[in-house]
């Protein structure tokens, strides 16, 4: 198994879009949250986050999903270099209402508006990652 | 091979492959100085697939072999726009051109931690209020004193209404604030520019705008107004904690380039204070905030120059960069050289020296050189070295002992000010004040 956050971020995002187009909003929303998580973790690895041999974060505080990862990223991405990748993100945590456990929720609890909201937020995380790719910070 | 050689070598190699690639190629130089190639898409499109793939392989082989550590490894050498779909990437018309075969181009996309603003596109048109940026490459050349004198001069200067000009002065030298306290002394407003950037990032900037401006006593006795926005105010408190956040490229609605944030600040202050003239006292040297004041504000810029080797060497870096700026034609006629601290002894010879240095700088970078027998472009700019109307021609400000440690609020030095600044102020009124903006 090889962990590659950049690759996974794109995969979850693209698959989320596919499901969204098919009005499968509940699982699309799930994937947008995971896409955002992977994009930010890709940036964090580029900024020096320590990972295990399998690519998992070593620090327990970084071994989290949304919405906790959003906050962890805000503290992690500091300084002249790190703050560049904070800039595309909004101040308010857009994943406040997202849970990795929503995979257990009833389908009707997640509609198009919520999926779009999280898709927009995941797009801003992708922007952060793509800036880091272009800068050579994220491989 | 070193940093200097790598880009040119990569550009030559990309140029050689343009006929096979059949598209514009961008060389992306990352923050480490490593180069890779940005193409539209990994799909061949209308090109024969085998030929396209062979061209990519050959280019990768060439670049990696030639550049070594200055290029990405083969597997990572190519980036595709489709992988960077969320970013507004430069286009061939907005990026520095490295090479062309007449059909396609090799362009540069340089990723910089700081300094990218010197490549920014200036705004189209003229701002509604006349704006002037005072910029110096080195410190201690009288830039803030000149801002002070100019504000006083303009406040006294009658407009058609019979009143003096309403002047708004901004101290943008956040690392070394000066003109705010020179003009206001202890009578600072509650907040300054550094406070606004911190508050604005949280969407609270508008709240403090009315508390960022104070009038200078220097306006007493004039029929105009000198409103000053200092870098800090009486309630700023943690200056370094705020300065450390002031350059964040994030506004209340997310990502926003710093010059755009500055433009919003200045536009907000202009709406609030309704000035006739805005003076922007810029930070010294090649800093991004100086670039914002010089390029993004649509201002006429006064470039301070003392005739020293280090001054010209530094300007040379900037002008050489501008030589390849795709929109240099939009701002080159807004750059004006000022000869500062001109000695009273051998004045003419000193000014002639300044003039020749400035001419050579402008000629080699921003003026048009039209070949004999060729018609000049319609917006051609080219002057002779001695043309007094030319942008490079230095307007002299004479050194005067009376202005050393000048504290205008304690005692206004009328005679030394006139002696030093008379010629410059006449030129400013005649040439700059009559250009652009709302009269």
pLDDT digits (tens, 9 = 90+) for A52-108: 988 899 988 899 999 999 999 998 888 889 989 999 998 889 999 999 999 999 999
CB pair distance less than 8 Å for A87 and B79 = no
> How close, in Å, is residue A111 to chain B by CA atoms?
24
Report the phi/psi class of residue B349: left, alpha or beta, with left for phi > 0 and alpha for psi in -120 to 50: alpha
Cα–Cα distances (Å) from B387 to B356, B368, B392, B393, in that order, read 11, 15, 9, 7
Dihedral angle computed from the Cα positions of residues B112, B118, B123 and B129, in that order, rounded to the nearest 10 degrees: 130
Q: What was the pLDDT predicted at B437?
A: 45
Q: Which residues pair with B23 in a beta bridge?
A: none
Complete edge-to-edge strand list for the sheet that includes strand B78-80: B78-80, B35-39, B25-29, B105-110, B97-100
B36: number of Cβ within 10 Å: 23
B→A interface, C-beta within 8 Å:
28, 30-32, 34, 76, 79, 83-87, 109, 111, 113-114, 201-203, 248-250, 254-255
CB pair distance less than 8 Å for B86 and A83 = no
Q: What are B284-316's pLDDT values in tens digits?
A: 999 989 999 999 999 999 999 998 999 999 999
Q: What was the pLDDT predicted at B375?
A: 75
Nearest by CB to A87, from B79, B83, B249: name it.
B249
Question: Which chain A residues are Cβ-neighbours of B28 within 8 angstroms?
Answer: 134
Q: What was the pLDDT predicted at B439?
A: 32
Q: B170: helix, coil or strand?
A: strand
Nearest by CB to A134, from B28, B114, B254: name it.
B28
Question: Which chain B residues are Cβ-neighbours of A124 within 8 angstroms?
Answer: 86, 254
Helices B3-21 and B49-67: crossing angle in degrees, nearest 10, is 170
Q: What was the pLDDT predicted at B368?
A: 86
Nearest by CB to B113, from A80, A127, A130: name it.
A80
Residue B305 phi, psi (nearest 5): -145, 125
Report the alpha-carbon distance of residue B173 to residue B184 in Å, rounded. 16
Q: Report whether B368 contacts B377 (CB < 8 A).
A: yes
> How close, in Å, is residue A102 to chain B by CA atoms?
27
Nearest by CB to B255, from A80, A88, A133: name it.
A88
Q: What was the pLDDT predicted at B253?
A: 83
Nearest by CB to B248, from A87, A130, A135: name it.
A87
All residue ranges of chain B with pLDDT < 70 are 160-161, 436-439
Q: What was the pLDDT predicted at A11?
A: 97
CB pair distance less than 8 Å for A89 and B254 = yes
Q: What was the pLDDT predicted at B428?
A: 94
Is the peptide bond preceding residue A67 cis, with omega within 30 degrees of 0? yes
Closest Cα to residue B258, out of B267, B266, B250? Answer: B250
Q: Report whether A47 contacts A76 (CB < 8 A).
A: yes
Q: What was the pLDDT predicted at B436?
A: 53
Report the alpha-carbon distance of residue B13 to residue B25 in Å, rounded. 11
Q: Which of A9, A127, A136 to mutate to test the interface with B (most CBs of B within 10 A)?
A: A136
Closest Cα to residue B10, out of B50, B54, B68, B51? Answer: B68
B219 secondary structure, DSSP code: G
- What ipTM goes with this model? 0.92
> How close, in Å, is residue B247 to chain A by CA atoms?
9
Q: What was the pLDDT predicted at B438?
A: 39
> How close, in Å, is residue A134 to chain B by CA atoms?
7
Nearest by CB to B76, from A123, A137, A139: name it.
A139
Closest Cα to residue B435, out of B1, B120, B19, B131? Answer: B131
Report the alpha-carbon distance of residue A32 to residue A64 in Å, rounded. 15
> How close, in Å, is residue B124 to chain A by CA atoms?
26
């Amino acid at each position: 198994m090889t962990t590659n956050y950049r690759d996974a971020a794109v995969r979850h995002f693209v698959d989320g879009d596919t499901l969204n187009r098919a009005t499968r909003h509940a699982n699309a929303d799930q994937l947008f949250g995971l896409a955002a998580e992977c994009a930010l973790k890709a940036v964090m690895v580029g900024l020096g986050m320590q990972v295990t041999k399998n690519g998992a974060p070593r620090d327990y505080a970084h071994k989290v999903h949304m919405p906790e990862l959003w906050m962890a990223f805000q503290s992690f991405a500091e300084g002249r270099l790190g703050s560049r990748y904070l800039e595309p993100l909004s101040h308010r945590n857009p994943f406040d209402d997202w849970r990795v456990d929503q995979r257990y929720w009833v389908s009707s609890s997640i509609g198009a508006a919520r999926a779009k909201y999280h898709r927009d937020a995941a797009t801003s995380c992708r922007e952060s990652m793509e800036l880091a790719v272009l800068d050579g910070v994220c491989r | 091979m070193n940093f200097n050689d790598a880009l040119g070598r990569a550009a030559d190699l990309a140029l050689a492959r343009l006929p096979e690639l059949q598209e514009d190629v961008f060389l992306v130089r990352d923050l480490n100085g490593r180069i890779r190639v940005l193409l539209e898409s990994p799909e061949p499109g209308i090109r024969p697939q085998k030929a396209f793939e062979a061209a990519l392989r050959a280019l990768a082989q060439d670049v990696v072999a030639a550049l070594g550590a200055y290029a990405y490894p083969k597997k990572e050498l190519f980036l595709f726009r489709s992988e960077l779909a969320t970013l507004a990437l430069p286009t061939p018309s907005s990026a520095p051109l490295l090479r062309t075969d007449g059909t396609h181009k090799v362009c540069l996309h340089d990723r910089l931690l700081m300094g990218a603003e010197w490549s920014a596109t200036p705004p189209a048109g003229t701002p509604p209020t006349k704006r002037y940026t005072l910029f110096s490459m080195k410190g201690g050349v009288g830039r803030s004193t000149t801002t002070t004198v100019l504000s006083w001069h303009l406040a006294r200067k009658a407009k058609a209404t019979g009143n003096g000009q309403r002047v708004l002065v901004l101290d943008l030298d956040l690392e070394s604030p000066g003109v705010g306290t020179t003009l206001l002394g202890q009578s600072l407003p509650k907040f300054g520019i550094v406070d606004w950037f911190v508050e604005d990032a949280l969407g609270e900037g508008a709240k403090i705008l009315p508390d960022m401006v104070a009038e200078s006593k220097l306006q007493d006795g004039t029929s105009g107004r000198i409103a000053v926005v200092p870098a800090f105010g009486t309630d700023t408190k943690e200056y370094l904690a705020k300065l450390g956040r002031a350059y964040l490229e994030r506004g209340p609605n997310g990502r926003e380039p710093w010059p755009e944030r500055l433009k919003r600040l200045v536009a907000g202050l202009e709406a609030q204070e309704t000035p006739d003239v805005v003076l922007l006292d810029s930070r010294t040297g090649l800093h991004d905030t100086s670039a914002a004041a010089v390029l993004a504000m649509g201002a006429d810029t006064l470039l301070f120059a003392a005739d020293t080797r280090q001054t010209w060497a530094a300007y040379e870096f900037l002008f050489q960069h501008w030589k390849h700026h795709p929109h240099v034609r939009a701002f080159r006629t807004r750059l004006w050289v000022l000869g500062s601290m001109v000695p009273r002894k051998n004045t003419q010879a000193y000014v002639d020296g300044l003039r020749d240095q400035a001419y050579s700088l402008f000629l080699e970078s921003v003026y048009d050189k039209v070949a004999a027998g060729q018609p000049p472009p319609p917006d051609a700019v080219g002057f002779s070295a001695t043309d007094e109307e030319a942008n490079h021609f230095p307007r002299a400000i004479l050194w005067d002992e009376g202005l050393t440690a000048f504290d205008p609020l304690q005692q206004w030095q009328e005679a030394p000010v006139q002696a030093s600044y008379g010629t410059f102020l006449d030129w400013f009124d005649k040439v700059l004040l009559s250009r652009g903006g709302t009269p």
